[in-house]
Amino acid sequence: MNKWIGTGRLGQDPEIRYTSSGKCVASFNLAVTEGYGDKQVTNWIPIVAWEKLAESAGNNLSKGSRVLVDGRIQIRSFEANDGSKRRVAEVVAQSIEFLERKQAAAGNSGEIDINSFGKEVFPDEEIPFS
Amino acid sequence: MNKWIGTGRLGQDPEIRYTSSGKCVASFNLAVTEGYGDKQVTNWIPIVAWEKLAESAGNNLSKGSRVLVDGRIQIRSFEANDGSKRRVAEVVAQSIEFLERKQAAAGNSGEIDINSFGKEVFPDEEIPFS
Amino acid sequence: MNKWIGTGRLGQDPEIRYTSSGKCVASFNLAVTEGYGDKQVTNWIPIVAWEKLAESAGNNLSKGSRVLVDGRIQIRSFEANDGSKRRVAEVVAQSIEFLERKQAAAGNSGEIDINSFGKEVFPDEEIPFS
Amino acid sequence: MNKWIGTGRLGQDPEIRYTSSGKCVASFNLAVTEGYGDKQVTNWIPIVAWEKLAESAGNNLSKGSRVLVDGRIQIRSFEANDGSKRRVAEVVAQSIEFLERKQAAAGNSGEIDINSFGKEVFPDEEIPFS
DNA sequence: TTTT
DNA sequence: TTTT
């Protein structure tokens, strides 16, 4: 058994890519907050989804959306910029329950989409597991 | 919610340390195998336990012991050897069910020395999360 | 290990009682729906919470509220009306995450009265486990 | 989400039946024990498995076997002996990890199979949920 | 980087 | 009804 269940909010819109064989992959970081008051702690947990689940995430989720994820931890090897071999971990989603869906696109409502002015940088850094 | 539940075997004896304030900390890597036949995949997941749970792990577990762990994913910051800041992830155990306890020391019984069946190296490297 | 994790909506306002020793107990049935389209199935799962968690449920939840429950299955003995001994099961909540809080009382807002959308009867019958 | 994860030991050999359409069904009660020392509590949780999983349970498990079950709670309607309609609950297994397999049949070892002399009665009673 |  |  290798099961992770967690709730949180997306730190950014899901990033959608396609493998060379055409499989859809969605990835995002999830802010998982535990505790109350001044004991609150947030862990940013990287989530990956594949195929139909990835497409659904792309269609239904955006920055700030709240989700319930059921998945497993996966350790993945990759080559760092300096050529060294590293391992990274992430949660591969098996199901995602949408607790809050995508916000309406800016222009569809009277609201300004504050997310479209963001300038934050999300370095493509790999977060080590262990 | 931030919950991980997994089963596996310890890759090495638990490493027991004490913080400067005297708290006991146990850490080990868990081989979590999923799938059947030639679709088997093993993820090595780093586990950390604190205080009474850590002491209990130290007293009852050894390399090869099978456990059921209930815990949460934690992302931890640390400074790499080159001075750069990195984040690592691990599972902080909330409970550990011992499915197989510590083996008697080799030589004390007619049993196989469980320590003899693997030569894998577990470098003290930090495994990235994401 | 004995852990249940589920999401759903309350079928009625939580019922709040106090034991003779003054402990608060909340109970409600949770509509847990799985599957999609015409394969949707709903199971009504009885939830019980104690003390602070019960008070919090009473203050924050009402019929239709969506929750994420983490708890354990408990089998409880009781005497049926005909004097026979029966066992019932329920989920004893260890934590409840409020995905939607209590609705304002009907008439206070332009919102639909969430209490109007169902006519199901929840007899105070004991639902057998097994 | 409707997920139960639990560990325990089978109270009896799995009961194997087949539906009229030929599907295999296995059922057994699981002794799920929590707590330590004199605070130990055991809940007997009914488990049902279908098809390949049921066959595997029949082939690998027996009274006393330790398992890790991943499944969901299901409420099922049935007609009681007195003609009244009742609902029962059980855990429908989605996966079963065998932590201890079937005992060798009596006669295969020097051990007496104490289980073959049992006279306990397991009434086909339905345990209510709620 | 999310939110309350 | 299981086990430690």
CATH value at residue D60: 2.40.50.140
Q: Is residue C49 part of a domain?
A: yes
Residues of B (9-48) whose Cβ lies below 8 Å from D: none
Q: How distant is C1' of F3 from CA of D109, in Å?
A: 21
Q: Is residue C74 part of a domain?
A: yes
One digit per residue, the tens of pLDDT, for chain D of length 130 reads: 999 999 999 999 999 999 999 999 999 999 999 998 999 999 999 999 999 999 999 999 999 999 999 999 999 988 888 888 888 999 999 999 999 876 654 443 333 332 332 223 333 345 454 4
Q: Is A116 helix (H, G, I), strand (E, B) or coil?
A: helix
Structural domain boundaries enclosing A46: 4-34+41-109
Q: Is residue D26 part of a domain?
A: yes
Q: Is residue D99 part of a domain?
A: yes
> Tell me: the pLDDT tens digits for C4-25?
999 999 999 999 999 999 999 9
Q: Is residue B127 part of a domain?
A: no
D99/B66 CB distance under 8 A: yes
Whether A5 contacts chain C with CB within 8 A: yes
Query: Phi and psi at residue A2, in whole multiples of 5°?
Result: -150, 85
Question: Strand B66-79 relative to strand B85-98: parallel, antiparallel, unpaired?
Answer: antiparallel
B4 pLDDT more than 50: yes
> Tell me: the pLDDT tens digits for B27-43?
999 999 999 899 999 99
Q: Is residue C85 part of a domain?
A: yes
One digit per residue, the tens of pLDDT, for chain A of length 130 reads: 999 999 999 999 999 999 999 999 999 999 999 998 999 999 999 999 999 999 999 999 999 999 999 999 999 988 888 888 888 999 999 999 999 876 654 443 333 332 332 223 333 345 454 4
The count of structural domains within chain C is: 1
E strand or H helix that includes residue D43: strand D41-50
3-state secondary structure B8-68: EEECCCCEEEECCCCCEEEEEEEEEEECCHHHCEEEEEEEEEEHHHHHHHHHHCCCCCEEE
Q: Is D117 helix (H, G, I), strand (E, B) or coil?
A: helix
E strand or H helix that includes residue A59: helix A51-60
Q: How many whole angstroms separate alpha carbon A41 and alpha carbon A116? A: 27
Q: Is residue D73 part of a domain?
A: yes
Q: Is residue B116 part of a domain?
A: no
- Residues on chain B touching D34 (C-beta within 8 angstroms): none
Tokens of C21: 């020793």
